[in-house]
């Protein structure tokens, strides 16, 4: 058995914003059509919304949902998706080589978001469109002035403005695959002008400029610097996207995904702060990690191979326990950066690399990756506490000096409880983790624990066996005064809750 020791201090790293437990709904594959929206399904309500998906979205604790894309948004005309359904055009979606009937659009999404109790995050098209269309969209959504666009919204049955707060200025504009892809300078100027116009319509919005599509992009770093040099005065946040997968049987590198995400976050922070400093601004640009997940991109044959079809089955990865362990650890990294990460969206919500899976005539089910998300979103405390961790490290193919244990400790708003998240990266060994909480409270009470991993890592939940995987409890948890000792199974993610009987 390996050993690790954590000493927790009363110093706060940051406050967790609920918006880091966000998700993403894109017009892609069966995420919208046949996912959250399926008028022909016996599980749909009168509006065509899958009520079982809505319930699972609430159960997951999803706070915010980004919409309508993704690559999709870079060729999207938002006007196609509003007004009487029978007059909406059917179009080719070039991003995913699909047929888009536009029977689900902005107002349907807003109705769904209200039902699912999530905040919307909207993306504007800066691929094939520009300043005017983005300004029109926000006027349609948020303005209560008596103008043609707000009258149009009212004529569509929406009297009160949608009042959408969070807006993405395009999607992955650094990617050569993006429709309307631009170099950093061209994108930055367009984003800055679009941001200016949108804020003139509604000053009280959060604007997110596109950072890199992933850390390995050849332009990563310089892209962030150039984009912020031109736009920092007009934007609030910069985006990050990252998908992780297991290459071959290299489990250790896969378990290093959260360390790689951590490094990515730090590198973006450095770039953002450097621009701010150089310009002599008293402005801190925080981060929106608005696409992240485990995604087996190597299994996807690519868009070129697709025939144009409506709602094809695209990237419906079936997740294993091992994938869920990694998803849990990615959430830990996001929490650990609570001081700088304001939004984060797991991509995507249903079917398309989603934690929720659905078929027309069957109840929706929870993929393995549902559990770490739900447990983190629902149980994480308000404040992330700092600490020093002693653990052995190893070199992985994709990350040198990888700490074999990762931990995050959060405390509730009223200081009465703690949540401890722990990842054991040991492939074969258990790890005995000792946590010294003297600075936090003199008497602790163990409430419960949830654990994924340690056993058969290949198990999945699927149509035939929708409840094969559920989190278990940790076998060994000992509380002695203000010290907690737990035994973490090999390759596992755990969440442990404690009550503070007498806080310090
Ligand atoms: O989530 C799937 C796709 O991944 C999104 O459309 C795109 O933004 C990213 O590359």
The three-state (H, E, C) secondary structure of 342-359, written as one string: EEEEEECCECCCCCEEEE
Task: Give the C-alpha separation, 313 to 347, whole Å.
Answer: 16
Report yes or no: 369 and 317 within 8 Å, Cβ to Cβ.
Answer: no
Average pLDDT over residues 251-259: 98
Q: How far is the CA of 271 from the centre of ligand 1 (A)?
A: 23
Residue 171 alpha carbon, nearest atom of ligand 1? 8
pLDDT of residue 213: 98
> 183: Cβ–Cβ under 8 A, 6 or more apart, which residues?
none
Joined tokens for residue 33: 């059509």
pLDDT digits (tens, 9 = 90+) for 403-431: 999 999 999 999 999 999 999 999 999 99
Per-residue confidence at 39, pLDDT binned at 50, 70, 90?
Answer: very high
Q: What is the CATH number of the domain that holds 84?
A: 3.20.20.80
Domain span including residue 245: 17-379
The SS3 of residue 500 is strand
Joined tokens for residue 17: 């914003």
pLDDT of residue 370: 98
Residues 347 and 406 in one domain: no
Average pLDDT over residues 441-446: 86
Per-residue confidence at 224, pLDDT binned at 50, 70, 90?
Answer: very high
Helix 370-379 vs helix 321-336: crossing angle, to nearest 10: 30
Decide whether any atom of ligand 1 lies within 6 Å of the 74 Cβ: no
Mean pLDDT score across all residues of the chain: 97
Task: Give the C-alpha separation, 279 to 139, whole Å.
Answer: 32
Decide whether any atom of ligand 1 lies within 6 Å of the 100 Cβ: no
In this structure, is the dihedral angle defined by the CA atoms of residues 54, 165, 334 and 326, taken in order, positive or negative?
A: positive
Residues 70 and 120 in one domain: yes
Q: Mean pLDDT lowest for which of 281-285, 379-383, 419-423?
A: 379-383
**What residues are paired with 387 via a beta bridge?**
8
Residues 88 and 178 in one domain: yes
pLDDT of residue 192: 98
Residues 88 and 119 in one domain: yes
Of 331, 358, 379, the one marking the end of a domain is: 379
Residues 238 and 128 in one domain: yes
Q: How far is the CA of 352 from the centre of ligand 1 (A)?
A: 10
pLDDT of residue 90: 98
Catalogue the active-site residues.
172, 291
Task: Give the C-alpha separation, 136 to 124, whole Å.
Answer: 10
Report yes or no: 496 and 432 within 8 Å, Cβ to Cβ.
Answer: no
Alpha helices (H) along 39-159? 51-60, 106-116, 131-142, 148-155
Per-residue confidence at 504, pLDDT binned at 50, 70, 90?
Answer: low
Residues 375 and 395 in one domain: no
pLDDT of residue 381: 86
Residue, of 504 and 186, whose pLDDT is higher? 186
Q: How far is the CA of 95 from the centre of ligand 1 (A)?
A: 10
Residues 341 and 393 in one domain: no
Of 379, 413, 429, the one marking the end of a domain is: 379
Residues 450 and 490 in one domain: yes
Q: How far is the CA of 300 from the centre of ligand 1 (A)?
A: 12
Residues 296 and 440 in one domain: no
In this prediction, what percent of the chain has a pLDDT beyond 70?
100
Per-residue confidence at 324, pLDDT binned at 50, 70, 90?
Answer: very high
Report yes or no: 357 and 316 within 8 Å, Cβ to Cβ.
Answer: yes
Per-residue confidence at 236, pLDDT binned at 50, 70, 90?
Answer: very high
How is the chain split among helix, strand and coil, in percent rounded to 5?
30, 30, 40
Residue, of 250 and 380, whose pLDDT is higher? 250
Is the pLDDT confidence value at 279 over 90? yes
The SS3 of residue 34 is coil
Task: Give the C-alpha separation, 194 to 494, whole Å.
Answer: 43
Decide whether any atom of ligand 1 lies within 6 Å of the 69 Cβ: yes
Decide whether any atom of ligand 1 lies within 6 Å of the 171 Cβ: yes
Residue whose CB lies within 8 A of the most ligand 1 atoms, among 67, 70, 173, for a mutation test? 70
Residues 448 and 308 in one domain: no
Residues 409 and 371 in one domain: no
Q: Residue 39 — φ and ψ, nearest 5°? A: -55, -25
Is the pLDDT confidence value at 235 over 70? yes
Per-residue confidence at 302, pLDDT binned at 50, 70, 90?
Answer: confident
Which residue has the CA at smallest separation from atom 2 of ligand 1?
70
């Amino acid at each position: 058995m390996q050993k690790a020791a954590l000493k927790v201090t009363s110093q706060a790293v940051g406050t967790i914003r609920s918006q880091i437990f966000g998700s993403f709904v894109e017009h892609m594959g069966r995420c919208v059509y046949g996912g959250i929206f399926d008028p022909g399904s016996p599980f749909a309500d009168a509006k065509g919304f899958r009520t079982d998906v809505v319930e699972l979205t609430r159960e997951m604790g999803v706070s915010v949902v980004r919409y309508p894309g993704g690559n999709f948004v870079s060729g999207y005309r938002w006007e196609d998706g509003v007004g009487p359904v029978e007059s909406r055009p059917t179009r080719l979606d070039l991003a995913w080589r699909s047929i888009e009937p536009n029977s689900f659009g902005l107002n349907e999404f807003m109705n769904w978001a209200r039902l699912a109790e999530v905040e919307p995050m909207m993306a504007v098209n800066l691929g094939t469109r520009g300043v005017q269309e983005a300004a029109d969209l926000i006027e349609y959504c948020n303005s209560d002035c008596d103008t043609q666009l707000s009258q149009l919204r009212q004529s569509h049955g929406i009297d009160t403005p949608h009042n959408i707060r969070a807006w993405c200025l395009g999607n992955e504009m650094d990617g050569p695959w993006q429709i309307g892809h631009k170099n950093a300078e061209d994108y930055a100027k367009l984003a800055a002008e679009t941001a200016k116009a949108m804020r003139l319509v509604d000053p009280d919005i959060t604007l997110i400029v596109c950072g890199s599509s992933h850390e390995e992009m050849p332009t990563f770093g310089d892209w962030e610097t150039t984009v912020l040099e031109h736009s920092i005065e007009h934007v609030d946040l910069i985006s990050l996207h990252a998908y992780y997968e297991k290459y071959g049987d290299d489990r250790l590198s896969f378990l290093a995904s959260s360390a790689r995400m951590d490094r990515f976050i730090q590198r973006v922070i450095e770039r953002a702060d450097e621009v701010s400093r150089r310009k002599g601004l008293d402005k801190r640009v925080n981060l929106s990690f608005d696409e992240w997940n485990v995604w087996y991109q190597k299994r996807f044959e690519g868009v070129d191979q697709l025939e144009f079809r409506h709602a094809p089955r695209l990237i419906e990865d079936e997740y294993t326990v091992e994938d869920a362990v990694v998803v849990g650890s990615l959430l830990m990294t996001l929490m650990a950066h609570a001081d700088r990460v304001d939004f984060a969206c797991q991509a995507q919500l249903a079917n398309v690399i989603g934690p929720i899976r659905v078929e027309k005539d069957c109840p929706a089910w929870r993929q393995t990756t549902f559990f770490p998300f739900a447990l983190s979103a629902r149980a994480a405390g308000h404040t992330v506490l700092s600490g020093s961790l002693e653990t052995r490290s190893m070199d992985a193919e994709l990350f040198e000096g990888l700490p074999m244990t990762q931990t995050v400790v959060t405390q509730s708003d009223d200081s009465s409880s703690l949540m401890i998240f722990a990842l054991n990266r040991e492939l074969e060994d258990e790890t005995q983790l000792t946590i010294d909480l003297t600075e936090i409270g003199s008497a602790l009470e163990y409430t419960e624990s949830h654990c994924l991993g340690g056993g058969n890592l290949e198990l999945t939940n699927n149509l035939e066996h929708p409840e094969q995987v559920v989190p278990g409890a940790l076998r060994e948890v000992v509380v002695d005064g203000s010290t907690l000792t737990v035994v973490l199974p090999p390759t596992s993610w755990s969440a442990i809750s404690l009550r503070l009987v007498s806080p310090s």
